[in-house]
Amino acid sequence: MKRRSFLAVLVLYLLAGPAAVHEQLHPGEPQPQPEHASGFELSYGDGYRILTVLRPHPEAEQPRRYLLLERGREVPERHRGLPRVRIPVERAVTAAAPLLAQFEILDAPDRVVGHDNTRRIYSEAFRRRSDEGELTTVGEPPQMNIERVVSLDPDVVLINALGPHNETKHKLREAGLPVMVVADWLEDDPLGRAEWLLVAGVLLQRERQAAEYLEEVTSRYNELVEKVRGPLQDTHRPAALLNAPFQGAWSVPGGDSYMARLLKDAGAEYPWSHRGGRGAIHLELESVLGHAADAEIWLNPGTAESTVDLLRLDPRLRAFRALETGQVYNFTARTRPGGANDYFERGALEPHHILADLIHIVHPELLPEHRLRYFRKLR
């Protein structure tokens, strides 16, 4: 796919402002498509796009299709039955942290006028908009303030759906608001999760900018994978334990999950890689000890800020080798008071940075100069 360089796009942006990257795709021009994502498809027509969300929620058996119609265009007769959104979107309400990062990467934070919880925002640009009264808190589903959302007159409300009977989604539609379900969080491939940036690119008519960003991310991610793959032929793969006990249960992701894929690409052994599936596996502490007591690395131990915090959870955690050797890391390097954590906000759009962090933790000799971005070692 022939694309202009990122530098060319940046120069246009600096010279003429954000409108300069509102680019129309011309007939016959390559149309950006997801290559790694399994959760959505894009098709292109004259003056419109069709977004098909193949798995809008974990229990979905049917896809959901949306008509993204350029302003001033008539609705195509054969697509009249589809829910539609006018593009480029000028006023969006978001109810998921990665959506903020998508708009910011595409130089459009000013297009988001409402967010579910502005206290949990990490981005400086969006925090500033909130402080200046340009970004309104609308409440988290299912307690979203529908009247407040209506007052913002959004072109689209972007939400996640946990199941088929999403109360917030139905209330928003009953209020006559254009609702779109996004499901980036269901992607198992780290690059596929990042590719949902293409959906924001279509909404903003900045497809080329989105595609160029993703091309760079994909290249850097694959370079890191190759950096690990070669030396690992005769190298030990350290085992990595994930998460921590909570209310009597220890939940770990399945062997086909997002985190399992990242650990594999980082050259780590995952004790539950043989347990297929995307969802969580709920275990007792004794079972986790049996499978991972000798794991060299422990990642993402809940809300723990120190090893002392972990021992307060349960003194038996001292039996884990990683705790004794101090090899425990949490994704809390970029946080703010109020619950903001950039790992959940921008991290999905920067899988190459997350992978680099993990490689440095698991095989520090491969990236000796790397400085952790999203993870930090527990005291």
pLDDT of residue 155: 98
pLDDT of residue 117: 96
Tell me the residue range of the domain where 58 lies: 6-217
Q: Are 64 and 85 in contact (CB under 8 A)?
A: no
CA distances from 277 to 57, 133, 245, 260, 280 (A): 15, 43, 20, 10, 8
The answer to whether residue 321 sits within a structural domain is: yes
Give the chain's mean pLDDT: 90
pLDDT of residue 355: 98
Could you tell me the CATH number of the domain that includes residue 292?
3.40.50.1980
The answer to whether residue 1 sits within a structural domain is: no
Whether 31 shows a pLDDT value over 80: the answer reads yes
The answer to whether residue 187 sits within a structural domain is: yes
187, 217, 247: which is the final residue of a domain? 217
Identity (one letter) of the amino acid at 102?
Q
Domains held by the chain: number: 2
100 and 156: one domain? yes
Whether 275 shows a pLDDT value over 90: the answer reads no
Q: Structure tokens of 105?
A: 């990467």
- pLDDT 10s digits, 329-377: 999 999 999 899 999 999 999 999 999 999 999 999 999 999 999 999 9
pLDDT of residue 8: 41
Distance CA(65)–CA(57), nearest Å, equals 14
The larger pLDDT score, comparing residue 51 to residue 276, is at: 51
235 and 198: one domain? no
Whether 34 shows a pLDDT value over 60: the answer reads yes
pLDDT of residue 9: 36
The answer to whether residue 226 sits within a structural domain is: no
- Percentage, residues of the chain above pLDDT 90: 80
Q: What pLDDT band is residue 14 in, cutting at 50, 70 and 90?
A: very low
**C-alpha 276, offset from chain centre:** 22
Q: Which of 168, 192, 194 is nearest to 180 (CA)?
A: 168
CA distances from 295 to 263, 334, 352 (A): 13, 26, 24
- pLDDT 10s digits, 261-270: 999 999 999 9
131 and 279: one domain? no
191, 217, 243: which is the final residue of a domain? 217
Determine the average pLDDT of the residues in 1-26. 41
177 and 257: one domain? no
pLDDT of residue 235: 72
Determine the average pLDDT of the residues in 183-198. 97
Q: Are 109 and 224 in contact (CB under 8 A)?
A: no
Q: Structure tokens of 367?
A: 């990236």
180, 195, 217: which is the final residue of a domain? 217
DSSP H helices in the chain: 6-16, 97-105, 124-131, 146-151, 167-174, 190-194, 197-204, 207-229, 258-265, 285-292, 307-313, 321-325, 342-345, 351-362
